[in-house]
A and B are shown apart, each in its own frame.
Chain A
Amino acid sequence: MKSPGFRLYAIAYLLFLYAPIILLPLFAFNDSKVIAFPLSGFTTSWFATMWEDQNLWNAAQNSLIISTTTAIFATLLGLFAARASTRFNFPGSGGALGLIMLPLVLPEMIVAMAMLAVLLTIGFPLSIFTIILGHVLLCTPFAVAILSSAFQSLDRSLEEAAQDLGETPLSTFWLIILPLVMPGIISSLLICFTISLDEFIMAYFLGGNEPVLSTYIYGQFRFPARVPAIMALGTILVCLSITLLAIAEWFRRRGIAKSGGTDTGGFL
């Protein structure tokens, strides 16, 4: 492990991974329309340009609606699936869970194309709503994965203890289970939100004429003059994503610590 070759490899790997992202803020604050070195000077005017773009606001609003709704629905569905798969044993439970998790490995383009074909066939108009449908499909496996780990770290006898002390199954869920998996729920909401926010293929295929942030950014790259402003937007999105994922991970770890379990993985 200590050989210099390995160290070099690790540094090169990380550089390849993160250097492009570091370039985003670099050019967002660069006082030039051309994305090239050497840097010409410091400016915040690209942020102002971005701020005044009405189309961008429209796309951001759409994205916010889509991501929030997706996060809530995917987490809700994930909650049911995770509870069912960890608590009950029924015929076909393994198969059902496998099908729920499948979109995780299925090429997104195939799923998007298939959905588009179905929607067009039945004459369903493309809108924000159809993007939400696609995103829920995409995000639910993540929600299930996060929430399953939250449910699995719950001691089964906690539920029995609550019922032994006079609570019904429903009030037990409300008083004991929900508070204990709450960190998992918050973590799932944040991760689903982040995934939905920067998703492109579904939004492009199923969005019709409704722009979202990802498709808007893609469209702007046709105009070289707009690129620095997009860099500014990208900078903001990177910061937002990192913040959300960090909060999500913090909640996930706190949840495990609270229920006295040991950490077995996670996204960060």
Chain B
Amino acid sequence: MSTKDTMIEFRDVHKYYGDYHALRGITGTIRPGEFFSLLGPSGCGKTTLLRTIAGFEDISSGAVLVDGRDMAGVPANKRPTNMVFQSYAIFPHLSVAQNVGFGLRKDARSTAEKEKAVAEALEMVGLKGYGGRAAHALSGGQRQRVALARALILKPKVLLLDEPLSALDKKMREQMQMELIKLQRQVGITFILVTHDQEEALVMSDRIAVMFEGEIAQLADPETLYRRPGSRKVADFIGTMNFLPAKVLEEGADAVEVDAAGFGRIHIEARQVMGGKTDEGATVGFRPETLTILYEGSAAADRESMATIEEVVYFGDMTYYDVRIDGTDAPVRISMRNVFGRPVLDIGARARVGWSPGALVLFR
């Protein structure tokens, strides 16, 4: 593969800590200028993988290439990558400007030029005029910005972000998400983000690698991950997904006929069929928003089933209903946008539920 469309390449990367197999054959590429996320539950190896790029972890076998160059034996201080640490790692004994300019120590430029670069970097992250402040007197959000400026001032080929938003409160986190996206577009540097927050990954990334137990379960763009999760495990991890048991009736080259509990006979096209079979056999999966409760005068749905409302959770703009479709054992969740003139239904009410075979996925 040419280096033009590859910034990072993992070639069958394995990592052992003693007997523990932390990375189990990671293979994949990250494109230049991409906002890429490593997403997974804690202990899945996502931070370890990030640290192999930075040079803080040696790999047991395989290869990590940055911009076409094998990083084996290249120490962290010689790699074209910079990192924003989870704890931000702001040097507490230095000022903000000294922190941001830390990486320029060996730079041949004059002091005045370096000061200008520091000022520009601070302005870029919205901390203009903060240079003289003591680093230990900053708030969490400000530390985050200093860490960003300190890493970006070196114009790395890749910026590595290790759960950078996890220490911030919700409002601040959402604001920083937007700012990071804007910043990434502005500088055009490849960003690699490690996160356990699936929502954050969906919001920010061009592409996401979902990791479980040291392996990449699926590598795709956010929409594909959400709409066509490659396995039940991925589907479970990203957003909410309902599952109903299904029986395969007929198998064609480009479509499968199944009988799903409560739904009846469904025609499912090949692109909707996913792997990740479990012991429970085949299941159909669908997102809460792909089902609709039909009111008088609602537009007709492709298919309809009757159901009983078992639980109602009111969120203001949305209402979540747990409904039991006739003929099934367990309730499924439906999310409905609250529209003026449509009453929120009560527990125990009967409802018509509309759905479309095209919005389902089959795991088998």
Chain A residues within 8 Å of B, Cβ to Cβ: 155, 157-158, 160-168, 176, 179-180, 258-260
Contacts and interface: CB of A to CB of B under 8 A. Distances in A.
Given A165-B102, A166-B105, A160 B85 contact: yes
Nearest to A179: B93
Given A157-B86, A258-B136, A260-B136, A164 B77 contact: yes
B77 A155 contact: no
Given A165-B103, A166-B77, A180-B92, A157 B154 contact: no
Contact of A163 (B75, B86, B154): B75
Given A157-B85, A157-B87, A160-B85, A165 B93 contact: no
Interface in B69-103: 75-77, 81-83, 85-87, 89, 91-93, 102-103
A182 to B, nearest CB: 9
26 contacts: A155-B89, A158-B91, A160-B83, A161-B89, A161-B91, A161-B150, A162-B91, A162-B102, A163-B75, A163-B76, A164-B54, A164-B55, A164-B77, A164-B82, A164-B83, A165-B77, A165-B103, A165-B150, A166-B154, A168-B77, A179-B93, A258-B92, A258-B136, A259-B92, A260-B92, A260-B136
A165 B107 CA distance: 11
Most B CB atoms within 10 A — which of A161, A162, A259, A260? A161
Interface of B: 54-56, 75-77, 81-83, 85-87, 89, 91-93, 102-103, 105-106, 136, 150-151, 154
A162 B53 CA distance: 16
A260 B140 CA distance: 13
B54 A176 contact: no
A6 B151 CA distance: 58
A259 B87 CA distance: 13
A166 B77 CA distance: 4
Nearest to B153: A165
A259 B56 CA distance: 22
A207 to B, nearest CB: 42
B76 A160 contact: yes
A155 B136 CA distance: 13
A39 B220 CA distance: 91
A13 to B, nearest CB: 39
A258 B134 CA distance: 10
Question: Interface residues of A: mostly helix, strand, loop or mixed?
Answer: helix
A8 to B, nearest CB: 45
| Top 9 A-B residue pairs of the complex, sorted by shortest distance between their CB atoms | A165-B103, A161-B89, A157-B89, A157-B85, A163-B76, A163-B77, A164-B83, A166-B77, A179-B93
B192 to A, nearest CB: 14
A163 B54 CA distance: 10
Nearest to B136: A260
Contacts of A162: 91, 102
Contacts of A166: 77, 103, 105-106, 154
A175 to B, nearest CB: 8
Contacts of B56: 160
A161 B85 contact: yes
Contacts of B75: 163
Nearest to B75: A163
A175 B295 CA distance: 69
Given A163-B76, A164-B76, A166-B103, A158 B89 contact: yes
A179 B136 CA distance: 15
Contact of A161 (B55, B83, B105, B106): B83
Contacts of B81: 164
Contacts of B154: 165-166
A176 B106 contact: no
Given A161-B150, A164-B54, A180-B92, 6 more contacts: A155-B87, A160-B56, A160-B85, A165-B82, A165-B102, A167-B77
A131 B252 CA distance: 92
Nearest to B83: A164
Contacts of B89: 155, 157-158, 160-161
Contacts of A165: 77, 82, 102-103, 150-151, 154
Contacts of A167: 77, 105
A162 B93 CA distance: 13
A2 B154 CA distance: 62
Nearest to B150: A165
Contacts of B92: 180, 258-260
Contacts of B54: 160, 164
Contacts of A157: 85-87, 89
B111 to A, nearest CB: 17
Contacts of A160: 54, 56, 76, 83, 85, 89
Contacts of A164: 54-55, 76-77, 81-83, 151
A162 B105 CA distance: 11
Contact of B91 (A163, A168, A176): A176
A186 B232 CA distance: 59
A260 B137 CA distance: 10
A161 B54 CA distance: 10
Contacts of B85: 157, 160-161
Contacts of B103: 165-166
